[in-house]
Copies of this chain bind each other. A is one copy, B any other.
C-alpha cells in the first residue's frame, strides 16, 4: 500500500525494455542519434505542434528551470501559485537558471492561479518602473500541486491575461499525463492552443526512470534552451537512453494508459474516503492525487496496516485537529491496495 509518491513507484517494464533495446552498438552522443530524433518527433505529434523545439532532460526541476530561464530576464518577475513546486520544492533552481529572477506568489484555490489576481499583480508591477521588477512570465502547474486539473478554458483565461501583459506562459507538467487524462482534453488543447508557450512534459512520475521533455512551442527558442541545458550540465552524453524512455512512453500511448490507471485509482480512493465518517476531501479528485482529512484514529489504523503516505502542510495552514493527508496513485497502483487502504481507514 504505497501512496507516498508517484516517484516511488519504479520504472514501467515497457520503459526498461526500451532501454535494453536501445543498447545496441555504438551511437553518437549528445542527442545526435536517430532515436532522439524519433522521440522528439513523437512529442511534436502528440502535441500537434510540428514546429516546437523539444529537448530532453532527466528531472522536472531541470525542465522547469531551463524553460523559465529561456523565457525571462534576470530583472523580471515570474508569477506562480504560492504552492507551486518551483517556489516550494526546487531549492532556488528557477533563480539559478534565470540568473536571479523573482517568483511572485499568487493565490488561488487548489493550486489554480486566480486570473484576476494575476491581472492585478501584473498591472501593479508593470507600473512600478525600473525598481519594481518587470513582469516576465507566468507559470502554472498541471495537474496542480493539489491534484487539480487545468481545463482548456481556464488556461485560455490565464493566457489572455498573460498575453495582455506580454508575459510568457509556462506549464509545469510534471504530472502532465494525469492532467490530460483528467481533463478529457487533448494535449494540444490544454497547451499551445490555449496559449501555453513552454511546457515541462513530465515522464518520470508516469513510469519513466528519469525523463522530461522541455517543449517550446516557438521553435525559435531552441538555441537558447540548448545552451542553457548544456550549461546546466543537463545534456546527456549517452542521450539515446533518455530519448528511449520518452519514445516508449509516447509510443502505443503508454503515457495515457499509465495515467489512466493512476487517475482511476485516485478516483476510487477519493470516493471511498468521502464515505468514511469524519473524513473529507480537501480538494476534488481530478488526477492522481488525493488530499483528505481523516480522523486521527483512521490515520493510525492505516499506518498500522502498513500504508505509506505523507502528512501535507503548506505555509498558510494553521495547526488543525484534523490533518491533511496526501495519497498519490501511480501507473502501478492496484485496486486491491486502494481497497485495503480504505478498509484500514474505515476501521
Binding site for B on A (CB under 8 A): 2, 4-5, 7-11, 13, 16, 19-20, 23-30, 57-66, 73-75, 88-93, 95-103, 105, 120-121, 124-125, 128, 130-134, 204-205, 209-210, 224, 226-228, 230-238, 241-242, 308, 313, 315
Q: Which residues of B contact A16 (CB under 8 A)?
A: 19-20, 23
Q: Which residues of B contact A28 (CB under 8 A)?
A: 4, 8
Assembled-state Cα–Cα distance A4/B32 (Å): 13
- Given A88-B128, A128-B89 in contact, is the A99-B99 Cβ separation under 8 Å? yes
Report 20 cross-chain contacts, Cβ distance below 8 Å, ordered by A residue: A11-B19, A13-B23, A59-B233, A59-B236, A62-B233, A75-B228, A90-B230, A90-B231, A90-B233, A91-B231, A92-B101, A92-B102, A96-B232, A99-B99, A100-B100, A102-B103, A204-B237, A210-B237, A210-B242, A233-B234
Kindly identify which residue among B74, B96, B241 contacts A11, using a CB–CB cutoff of 8 Å: B241
CB pair B313–A91 under 8 Å, yes or no, is: no
Closest Cβ of chain B: how far from A312's Cβ, in Å?
12
Assembled-state Cα–Cα distance A30/B132 (Å): 14
Closest Cβ of chain B: how far from A336's Cβ, in Å?
15
Assembled-state Cα–Cα distance A20/B105 (Å): 42
CB pair A99–B74 under 8 Å, yes or no, is: yes
- Given A99-B100, A102-B92, A233-B90 in contact, is the A27-B10 Cβ separation under 8 Å? yes
Assembled-state Cα–Cα distance A62/B62 (Å): 12
Closest Cβ of chain B: how far from A277's Cβ, in Å?
29
- Given A204-B237, A227-B130, A230-B75 in contact, is the A100-B96 Cβ separation under 8 Å? yes
Closest Cβ of chain B: how far from A200's Cβ, in Å?
11
Shortest Cβ distance from A32 into B: residue: B8
Shortest Cβ distance from A95 into B: residue: B100
Kindly identify which residue among B9, B27, B65, B132 contacts A91, using a CB–CB cutoff of 8 Å: B132
Kindly identify which residue among B105, B209, B235 contacts A130, using a CB–CB cutoff of 8 Å: B235
Q: Which residues of B contact A100 (CB under 8 A)?
A: 92, 95-96, 98-100
Closest Cβ of chain B: how far from A86's Cβ, in Å?
10
Kindly identify which residue among B10, B125, B133, B313 contacts A124, using a CB–CB cutoff of 8 Å: B313
Q: Which residues of B contact A73 (CB under 8 A)?
A: 224, 227
Assembled-state Cα–Cα distance A237/B102 (Å): 23
Q: Which residues of B contact A20 (CB under 8 A)?
A: 16, 20
Closest Cβ of chain B: how far from A250's Cβ, in Å?
19
Closest Cβ of chain B: how far from A202's Cβ, in Å?
10
Q: Which residues of B contact A5 (CB under 8 A)?
A: 29, 237
Shortest Cβ distance from A11 into B: residue: B23
Closest Cβ of chain B: how far from A78's Cβ, in Å?
12
CB pair A132–B11 under 8 Å, yes or no, is: no
CB pair B74–A96 under 8 Å, yes or no, is: yes
- Given A26-B8, A26-B10 in contact, is the A93-B241 Cβ separation under 8 Å? no
Shortest Cβ distance from A205 into B: residue: B237
- Given A10-B25, A132-B91, A238-B210 in contact, is the A96-B231 Cβ separation under 8 Å? yes
Assembled-state Cα–Cα distance A2/B30 (Å): 16
Q: Which residues of B contact A105 (CB under 8 A)?
A: 105
Closest Cβ of chain B: how far from A227's Cβ, in Å?
4
